[in-house]
């Protein structure tokens, strides 16, 4: 049985890991790494569209039999609360409300067999940590984010544009500290950490001084900031490598501040006709900003629907009605992003991934053979619409979409059962396989690692992860 890790334990151990990481010297490139081996590179950039909160596969990209709501129905009857709609692929169906994404599935691959980790009592931020780093928390060091590994190994396509950009996630909402635990470059150094844009409509504010502050005053404040850092935790405990890395990250910010490319962060520069196609909310605007930044040479971008407990995809109640709104939020912008990248020719070299930390089910918390403590009460009989929908966390059958960057077009990978528990029954794939498929497309070898604490630290645990070649064309 998995050891129970509370949120307090998670924070305590990740905080200790952060302090331990500060004192590390420069990570040494592993002597065993085959980084000199030539892997055909099919991708230059990656955009991750993250459905934070737990997107139910049976309500989105892997629908089962539709059971309309009626008072007094048994909960066990409910497999999907939306009817099926056809996609561009013969015999492949999505859930109602995703018509636009369905129309572009000839351009990508649908994975229906992603299995999320078994981490015991389910905490969203622990599973998100695992999804974004490939390591189960907590660890003795701060583990680099997927985007940080890519920023470190591939470097910027455009030296002015930050190689790792995160759009849409605030850290002032519930579980903000836990979210910070994996938005980090860890031992790789601050220069490879995420450039954070919580609000895409204010993206330009991220690259210029605050209103009322001229550049000279901004530089003066920056000098004071550096002095404070020197006198603080980084100055006292940080290694020379991490101090220099922080300095380089600040220098990069200055370069961007004064560059013509800074306009890419300003959505008001987008032609109205194009802007209107994405302008249905924060996530849609984030997709548009991602397109603009890829055009300018961004290497890795995350656009998230944002995780906030009990909001968005975190459907502990009103699952059916809330998913109607979530689908409206993502359907148009995601499809438009794929169309625009394809029409411009950038999709061939830009990998776009749509994923979530795990799925949901009416009855099963965890997975059928490893159930964990229920966090939601679902009545045996449904009398109220708020109980109609997928409320429990499910880890044994999740959907992921992948487009571009060498990913097969018009392909379906894996399968889940048509009857509950709707678990993976063909071609299971886990997070190390997803990460290594991304790395492979970028030309990063699967055994890439650095020597940390006198032991090899790989991009995926123990260097055992392998790319899933059936996903690549």
- Higher local confidence (pLDDT), 374 or 356: 356
Give the closest residue to 361 by CA, choosing from 307, 315, 413, 412: 315
H helical segments located in 258-318: 272-278, 282-295
Instruction: Output the CA torsion sign for 22, 28, 34, 39.
Output: positive
* Mean pLDDT of the region 91-120: 96
What is the tens place of the pLDDT at every residue in 323-350? 999 999 999 999 999 999 999 999 999 9
- What pLDDT is attached to residue 452? 86
Nearest-angstrom CA–CA distance, 205 and 199: 9
Structural contact between residues 269 and 177, judged by C-beta atoms closer than 8 angstroms:
no
d(Cα 75, Cα 73) in Å, to the nearest integer? 6
At a CB cut-off of 8 Å and minimum separation 6, what does 143 contact?
A: 133, 135, 182, 184, 186
Average pLDDT of every residue of the chain: 88
Spell out the domains of the chain, with CATH numbers in brackets. Answer: 7-203+263-471 (3.40.720.10)
List, in sequence order, every residue forming a beta bridge with 367; answer none if it has no partner.
370
Q: What is the pLDDT of residues 150-203, one digit of tens each?
A: 999 999 999 999 999 999 999 999 889 999 999 999 999 888 999 999 999 888
78-97 tens-digit pLDDT: 999 999 999 999 999 999 99
Please calculate the CA angle 166-201-357 and round it to the nearest 5 degrees.
35
**Percent of the chain residues topping a pLDDT of 70:** 82
- Res. 106: pLDDT tops 50: yes
**Is this structure's pTM higher than 0.85?**
yes
Phi and psi at 225, nearest 5°, equal -60, -40
State the chain's maximal CA–CA distance in angstroms: 68
pLDDT surpassing 90 at residue 466: yes
């Amino acid at each position: 049985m998995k050891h129970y890790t509370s949120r307090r334990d998670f924070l305590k151990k990740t905080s200790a890991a952060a302090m331990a990481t500060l004192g590390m010297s420069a990570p040494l490139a592993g002597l065993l790494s085959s980084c000199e081996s030539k892997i055909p590179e099919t991708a230059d950039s990656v955009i991750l569209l993250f459905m934070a909160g737990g997107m139910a596969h049976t309500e989105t990209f892997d629908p089962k039999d539709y059971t309309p709501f009626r008072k007094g129905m048994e909960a066990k009857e409910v497999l999907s609360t939306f009817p099926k709609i056809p996609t561009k692929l013969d015999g492949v169906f999505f859930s109602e409300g995703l018509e636009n994404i369905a129309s572009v599935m000839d351009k990508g691959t649908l994975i229906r067999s992603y299995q999320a980790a078994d981490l015991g009592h389910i905490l969203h931020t622990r599973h998100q940590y695992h999804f974004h780093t490939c390591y189960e928390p907590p660890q003795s060091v701060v583990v680099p984010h997927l985007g940080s590994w890519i920023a470190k190994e591939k470097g910027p396509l455009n030296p002015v544009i930050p190689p790792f950009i995160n759009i849409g996630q605030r850290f002032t909402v519930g579980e903000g500290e836990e979210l910070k635990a994996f938005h980090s470059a860890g031992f790789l150094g601050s220069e490879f950490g995420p450039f954070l844009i919580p609000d895409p409509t204010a993206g330009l504010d991220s690259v210029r001084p605050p209103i009322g502050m001229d550049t000279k005053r901004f530089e003066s404040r920056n000098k004071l900031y550096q002095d404070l850092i020197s006198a603080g935790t980084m100055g006292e405990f940080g290694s020379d490598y991490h101090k220099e890395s922080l300095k380089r990250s600040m220098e990069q910010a200055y370069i961007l501040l004064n560059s013509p490319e800074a306009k890419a962060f300003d959505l008001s520069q987008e032609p109205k006709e194009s802007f209107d196609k994405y302008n249905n909310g924060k996530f849609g605007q984030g997709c548009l900003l991602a397109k603009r930044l890829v055009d300018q040479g961004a290497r890795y971008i995350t656009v998230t629907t944002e995780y906030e407990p009990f909001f968005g995809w975190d459907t502990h109640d009103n699952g059916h009605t809330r998913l109607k709104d979530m689908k409206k939020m993502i359907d148009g912008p995601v499809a438009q992003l794929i169309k625009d990248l394809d029409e411009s020719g950038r999709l061939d070299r830009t990998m776009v991934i749509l994923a979530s930390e795990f799925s949901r089910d009416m009855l099963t918390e965890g997975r059928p053979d490893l159930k964990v403590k229920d966090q939601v009460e679902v009545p045996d009989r449904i009398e109220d619409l708020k109980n109609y929908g997928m409320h429990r966390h499910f880890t044994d059958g999740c959907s992921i979409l992948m487009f571009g960057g060498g990913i097969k077009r018009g392909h379906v990978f894996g399968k889940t059962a048509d009857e509950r528990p709707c678990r993976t029954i063909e071609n299971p794939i886990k997070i190390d396989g997803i990460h290594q498929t991304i790395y492979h497309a970028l030309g990063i070898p699967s055994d890439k690692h650095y020597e940390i604490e006198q032991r090899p630290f790989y991009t995926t645990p123990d260097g055992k992860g392998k790319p899933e070649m059936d996903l690549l064309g």
